[in-house]
């Protein structure tokens, strides 16, 4: 087994774990998403669009897309794929750019309830 201090010709292989892949190799050297930053609890879901012919997805992106057939948070995806959170954010960012995944936005909050109704409910509860 070679250590990290070995010469540039290192093989990145660990006898017990097999081939090791550095996180930056999975993201093409990118460390940050190009688009808007994602919260780790953002809910992602596949858009259902076909993968464009000119787009080549990595194996990890294919796995992300398969998982996102149902809603998943960014944190859950990282856990499920056993990848660092930063790597998953960059891979998801590329899928978002291609329109293959969407961020599920919460519905707009409902209108505020009538204060008179709230006061009446409070008064009735106190009367109990």
pLDDT in tens, 2-30: 444 445 555 544 555 555 555 555 666 56
**E-only strand ranges, 28-107:** 43-46, 72-73, 101-104
For 57-95, write each residue's pLDDT tens digit: 888 889 999 999 999 999 999 999 888 888 888 889 889
- Listed in sequence order, the residues at least 6 apart from 26 whose beta carbon sits closer than 8 Å to its beta carbon are 58, 60, 83, 87, 91
* Annotation: CATH topology of 29-109: Arc Repressor Mutant, subunit A (1.10.10)
**% the chain with pLDDT above 70:** 70
- Please give the span between the terminal C-alpha atoms of the chain, in angstroms, as a whole number: 74
For 92-111, write each residue's pLDDT tens digit: 988 998 999 999 876 666 67
Domain residue limits, the chain: 29-109
Q: How far is the CA of 37 from the CAs of 32, 41, 62, 93, 96, in angstroms? A: 8, 12, 21, 9, 11
Q: Which residues of 65-75 are buried (b: 16+ CB within 10 A; e: fewer)?
A: bebbeeebbbe
What mean pLDDT is reported for the chain?
78
The encoded tokens of residue 101 equal 């995944």
**pLDDT computed for residue 53 by the predictor:** 86
- Listed in sequence order, the residues at least 6 apart from 112 whose beta carbon sits closer than 8 Å to its beta carbon are none
What's the gap between Cα 28 and its chain centre?
17
Check: CB of residue 42 under 8 Å from CB of residue 105: no
């Amino acid at each position: 087994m070679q250590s990290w201090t070995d010469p540039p010709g290192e093989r990145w292989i660990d006898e017990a774990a097999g081939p090791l892949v550095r996180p930056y190799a999975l993201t093409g050297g990118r460390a940050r998403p190009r688009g808007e930053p994602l919260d780790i609890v953002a809910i992602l879901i596949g858009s259902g669009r076909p993968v464009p012919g000119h787009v080549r997805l990595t194996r990890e992106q294919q796995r992300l897309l398969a998982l996102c057939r149902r809603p998943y948070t960014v944190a859950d995806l990282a856990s499920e794929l056993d990848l660092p959170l930063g790597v998953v954010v960059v891979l998801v960012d590329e899928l978002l750019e291609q329109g293959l995944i969407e961020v599920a936005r919460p519905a707009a909050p409902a209108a505020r309830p009538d204060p008179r109704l709230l006061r009446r409910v409070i008064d009735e509860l106190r009367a109990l």
